[in-house]
Amino acid sequence: MSREREMERAVREEIVRFVMSSPENRRREGEGRYFDEPLVGFASAADPLFTEYKRIIGPFHRTPASFLATEPDAQAPLQGTVLCWILPVTRATRETNRKERVWPSREWAHTRNYGEKFNTLLRQHVVAFLFGHGHRAIAPQLSPDWKRLEDTPVGIASTWSERHAAYAAGLGTFSLNDGLITERGIAHRCGSVITDLVLPPTKRSGTDHRRNCLYYREGSCGICIDRCPAGAISLEGHDKPKCRDYVHGEIPRAVGERFQVSELGCGLCQTMVPCEGSIPRGYGRSPSEEESRSV
């Protein structure tokens, strides 16, 4: 086996091992995990798509090379890899959120808050793992170069999008509500690390960046529109400011103290929809019919 393949296997196994064994991925209010076994994918740091994102998202979106370079504005292609993972929200948590119509369930709120803290630990762990094998690495989300921008031509955006990185790494395609539909569905958290370690890229399935969404694929569904309590989703897509005002304004005031969390997300448009836990096969497929690993 080549060293590239050995390192690919080692990275995948380490990410899975950490997610499945870390006590920080255990729910604080009961048994079970925040996340199921992760999906892992790789994109070449020199993939032209990352440069294309500067046109699609905006010139502020940084390339993998610019995060690792000693010169902040460096745009030269990097011989390396963008490591990406998907942390699927457990079925037990998704089931609690299916019942909600206005606010997230307690379990969903805790996953968004404490589960994302665990995701931060995973980013740090992957960086340390790569350093331990003699490679430079950085988690863009934890870099001082990562910034959220409130007013851009595409609305609210950031200098690095983990969803777009995951798409580049072949882990899913985009949906009507702006989420990423993976083989484990749309209810998940994303993570990424950039490294100078060269690994074989994961093949992207198809050329349509919206292929997994029923609405874009066949003009059906749109169930996420009715699931949104803020009215932020329509057939025109996702109204980011309206969503932000609800998620960062109304939800914290309503349930933040009750659930004892500071970071809150709604997640209603990611549950009780056909793409909740898998890539939907056709209109009207119930989330309860999916083949999903339980907690």
Phi, psi of 38 (to 5 degrees): -80, 160
Tell how strand 81-88 and strand 188-195 pair up: antiparallel
Closest by CA to 266, choosing from 289, 233, 235, is 233
Q: What is the pLDDT of residue 291?
A: 39
Closest by CA to 175, choosing from 226, 220, 219, 209, is 209
Contacts of 129 (CB under 8 A, 6+ apart): 11, 14
8 A C-beta contact, residue 23 and residue 118: no
CA dihedral 80, 202, 34, 241 (to 10 degrees): 80
Phi, psi of 137 (to 5 degrees): -160, 150
> Length of the chain in residues, anyone?
295
8 A C-beta contact, residue 238 and residue 291: no
Separation between Cα atoms, residue 290 and residue 216, nearest integer Å: 21
Separation between Cα atoms, residue 69 and residue 105, nearest integer Å: 42
Separation between Cα atoms, residue 153 and residue 233, nearest integer Å: 18
The H or E element containing residue 110 is helix 106-110
Instruction: Count CB atoms within 10 A of the CB of residue 30.
Output: 10
Q: What is the pLDDT of residue 33?
A: 97
Domain boundaries, the chain: 3-289
Separation between Cα atoms, residue 71 and residue 73, nearest integer Å: 6
8 A C-beta contact, residue 96 and residue 107: yes
Instruction: Count CB atoms within 10 A of the CB of residue 59.
Output: 10
Separation between Cα atoms, residue 6 and residue 2, nearest integer Å: 6
Separation between Cα atoms, residue 126 and residue 94, nearest integer Å: 27
Separation between Cα atoms, residue 46 and residue 76, nearest integer Å: 9
Separation between Cα atoms, residue 166 and residue 198, nearest integer Å: 17
8 A C-beta contact, residue 170 and residue 43: yes
Residue 234, classed as helix, strand or coil, is strand
pTM of the model: 0.92
Burial zone of 33 (CB within 10 Å; 0-12 exposed, 13-18 middle, 19+ buried): buried
Taking only the tens of pLDDT, the chain with its 295 residues reads: 688 889 999 999 999 999 999 999 999 877 799 999 999 999 999 999 999 999 999 999 999 999 988 545 555 557 899 999 999 999 999 999 999 999 999 999 999 999 999 999 999 999 999 999 999 999 999 999 999 888 888 878 899 999 999 999 999 999 999 999 999 999 999 999 999 999 999 999 777 999 999 999 999 999 999 999 999 999 999 999 999 999 989 999 999 999 999 888 999 999 999 999 999 987 544 444 443 333 2
Record the tokens describing residue 255, joined without a space.
């349930």
Strand positions, DSSP E, the chain: 39-44, 81-88, 137-138, 148-149, 157-158, 173-174, 180-181, 188-195, 233-234, 237-238
> 């031509």: which residue's tokens?
153
Separation between Cα atoms, residue 238 and residue 194, nearest integer Å: 28
Q: What is the pLDDT of residue 218?
A: 92
